[in-house]
Amino acid sequence: MSGYLNGLLSLLCIDVMFAYGVFLPVMAGQLNLGGAGFQALGGYVAAYLAANYGTPIWMTLPLGSLAGALAGVLISLPLARVRGVYLVLATIAFGQVVTGLILASPTLGGAQGIPVPSFVGLPVILPFTIIVILACFYLCATRLGLAMRAVHDDEAVADLMGVSARAIQVISYAVGGAIVGLSGALYAHQFGFVEAQDFDETLSVYVLLYVLLGGVQTAWGPLVGTACFVLIPEALRNLLPKLSALIAQTLHLPIGDAKIDDSWRLVLLGAFTVAMMIWRPQGIVTRTLIERLAHPFGAARQRRAV
């Protein structure tokens, strides 16, 4: 396997874990635009321990995950009191606070970052990713998952049915923070360096888009959304120059006159995102789609009966 493909698949696995960590609070009705802050905590904890104390990977990974979980618990308590745009602003502020503290701390390298001596590759990252995916699928099928979905759909009704909305939201942030912290620790060991600029608010927005456009009704959504929005731009990186050459050849133009370069992949990705928000706001994967794929003949008979 080439180094490029290995790095791409490793980044995809890390982003998938990140997306599932953001998905859990969203499933409980809490938007999280501070995901990069949780990943920064996990990454910096792992990097600092490895660089300064020679802590082995089998310890830095769970400690990075624990840092994300503790941050999730601490931030969920005040966030349980806010709603709507104030919730979004509060999570953005959390990410900004974490980045600011890192930049202001000489111990954490400030703007220069921290080099990480120990390395993990795809053979380590992939099993963690599979475990996270299976655990999230299992969680969605448990009573806790049903309670999270109930709080998402109608918090007042869930409370009347004996479900503690605040407890569910605290749990969702804690588990989600642990997963995102783990992804940050793996990121630090995979790429050998961490700096605050790697964990800005743009990253949080992108990963939340992966989750929302993939769909929050089922556990398939984060996986499908992340795969589409990570792999498609990389595929376009190689496809667009070939398309430019084909158009130029068809219209008998000089190669440079087609003007379809690598930057157009971001334009196409943005146009696709807007189109998804307009025509399929519920996301790529929905419960209805899963039911139709699971029972295609039953769905066909139901449509004929209607």
Q: Quick one: what percent of the chain has pLDDT higher than 70?
A: 89
User: Which pLDDT value is given to residue 232?
Assistant: 84
Amino acid at 273: T
Q: With beta carbons less than 8 A apart as the criterion, state whether 185 and 65 touch.
A: yes
Domain boundary residue, one of 184, 199, 214: 199
Is there a domain that residue 218 lies in?
Answer: no
User: Which residues on adjacent β-strands are paired with residue 194?
Assistant: 114
Q: With beta carbons less than 8 A apart as the criterion, state whether 194 and 44 touch.
A: yes
Is there a domain that residue 216 lies in?
Answer: no
What's the distance, CA 285 to chain centroid? 16
Residue 34 shares a structural domain with residue 145 = yes
Look up the pTM and report it: 0.89
**114 — phi, psi (to 5°)?**
-130, 125
Per-residue pLDDT averaged across 86-102, rounded?
Answer: 89
User: Which pLDDT value is given to residue 188?
Assistant: 95
Residue 26 shares a structural domain with residue 94 = yes
pLDDT tens profile 117-130: 999 989 999 999 99
Residue 163 shares a structural domain with residue 80 = yes
Residue 144 shares a structural domain with residue 281 = no
Is there a domain that residue 82 lies in?
Answer: yes
Segment among 8-22, 231-245, 250-264 with least mean pLDDT: 250-264
Contacts of 287 (CB under 8 A, 6+ apart): 217, 218
pLDDT band at 154 (very low <50, low <70, confident <90, very high): confident
The more confident residue out of 59 and 256 is 59
Domain assignment of residue 102, given as a range: 3-199
CATH number of the domain within which 170 lies? 1.10.3470.10
User: Which pLDDT value is given to residue 222?
Assistant: 94
pLDDT greater than 70 at residue 199: yes
Orientation of helix 220-250 relative to helix 201-214, angle to 10°: 100
User: Which pLDDT value is given to residue 244?
Assistant: 67
Indicate the number of domains in the chain. Answer: 2
Residue 143 shares a structural domain with residue 63 = yes
Rounded to the nearest 10°, the torsion over CA 74, 76, 78, 83 is 160
pLDDT band at 296 (very low <50, low <70, confident <90, very high): low
Is there a domain that residue 205 lies in?
Answer: no
User: What's the mean per-residue pLDDT of the chain?
Assistant: 86
Per-residue pLDDT averaged across 197-209, rounded?
Answer: 89
pLDDT band at 306 (very low <50, low <70, confident <90, very high): very low
pLDDT greater than 80 at residue 226: yes
Give the DSSP H or E segment for 296: helix 296-305
pLDDT greater than 60 at residue 305: no
User: Which pLDDT value is given to residue 272?
Assistant: 83
pLDDT tens profile 26-70: 998 888 888 999 999 999 999 999 999 999 999 999 999 999 999
Residue ranges in 118-200 assigned as alpha helix (H): 122-141, 143-153, 155-160, 165-191
